[in-house]
Amino acid sequence: MKVMVVGGGGREHALVWKLSQSPRVSEIIAAPGNAGIARQAECVPVGATDIRGLLDLARSRDVDLTFVGPEAPLVEGLADAFHQAGLRVFGPVRRAAALEGSKAFAKDLMSRHGIPTAAHRTFEDANAARDYIRSLDGPCVVKADGLAAGKGVIVADTVEEAVAAVDEIMVKRAFGTAGDRVVIEERLAGEEVSVLAFTDGETVLPLLPAQDHKRVFDGDRGPNTGGMGAYAPAPVCTPQIYDRVVQEILEPAVRGLREEGITYRGVLYAGLMLTPDGPKVLEFNVRFGDPEAQPLLALLETDLVDVVGAVLENRLADLSLTWRAGAAMCVVLASGGYPGAYEKGRVIRGLNEAEKTGAVVFHAGTAERDGKLVTAGGRVLGVTAVAAELSEAVRRAYQAAELIDFEGMHFRRDIARKALQNC
**In the complex, which residues of this chain contact ligand AMP (CB under 6 A)?**
118, 141, 143, 153, 155, 185, 187-188, 192, 214, 224, 271, 282-283
Q: Contact 262/244 with Cβ under 8 angstroms?
A: no
| 94: nearest Cα among 115, 75, 110 | 75
Residue 162 CB, nearest approach to ligand GLY (Å): 22
Beta-carbon contacts of 4 under 8 Å, excluding residues fewer than 6 positions away, are 28, 29, 30, 31, 54, 57, 58, 61, 63, 65, 66, 67
Per the document, the length of the chain is 423
Cβ-based nearer residue to ligand AMP, 32 or 139: 139
Letter string b/e over residues 227-248, b meaning 16 or more CB atoms within 10 A of that residue's CB: bbbbbbbbbbbeeebbebbbeb
| Cis peptide bond N-terminal to 276, omega within 30 | no
Q: Contact 210/142 with Cβ under 8 angstroms?
A: no
Cβ-based nearer residue to ligand AMP, 223 or 337: 223
290 is an interface residue for ligand GLY by CB under 6 A: yes
Return the one option of ligand AMP, ligand GLY, none that residue 292 interacts with (CB less than 5 to 8 A, by type).
ligand GLY
Cα distance between residue 65 and residue 266, in whole Å: 13
Give the amino acid at 141.
Answer: V
Return the one option of ligand AMP, ligand GLY, none that residue 65 interacts with (CB less than 5 to 8 A, by type).
none
Return the one option of ligand AMP, ligand GLY, none that residue 118 interacts with (CB less than 5 to 8 A, by type).
ligand AMP
Choices 215-223, 288-296, 354-362, 375-383 (CB under 6 A): range interacting with ligand GLY = 288-296
295 is an interface residue for ligand GLY by CB under 6 A: no
Cα distance between residue 14 and residue 381, in whole Å: 11
Residue 134 CB, nearest approach to ligand AMP (Å): 18
DSSP H helices in 20-147: 51-60, 72-75, 78-84, 94-101, 103-112, 126-135
Return the one option of ligand AMP, ligand GLY, none that residue 169 interacts with (CB less than 5 to 8 A, by type).
none
Residue 210 CB, nearest approach to ligand GLY (Å): 9
Choices 21-29, 80-88, 117-125, 283-291 (CB under 6 A): range interacting with ligand GLY = 283-291
Options 70, 227, 339, 382; binder of ligand GLY; rule CB under 6 A = 227
Residue 289 CB, nearest approach to ligand GLY (Å): 3
Cβ-based nearer residue to ligand AMP, 91 or 271: 271
Options 212, 231, 316, 348; binder of ligand GLY; rule CB under 6 A = 212
Q: Contact 221/270 with Cβ under 8 angstroms?
A: no
322 class by beta-carbon count within 10 Å (0-12 exposed, 13-18 middle, 19+ buried): exposed
Interacting residues toward ligand GLY by CB under 6 A: 212, 227, 285, 289-290, 292
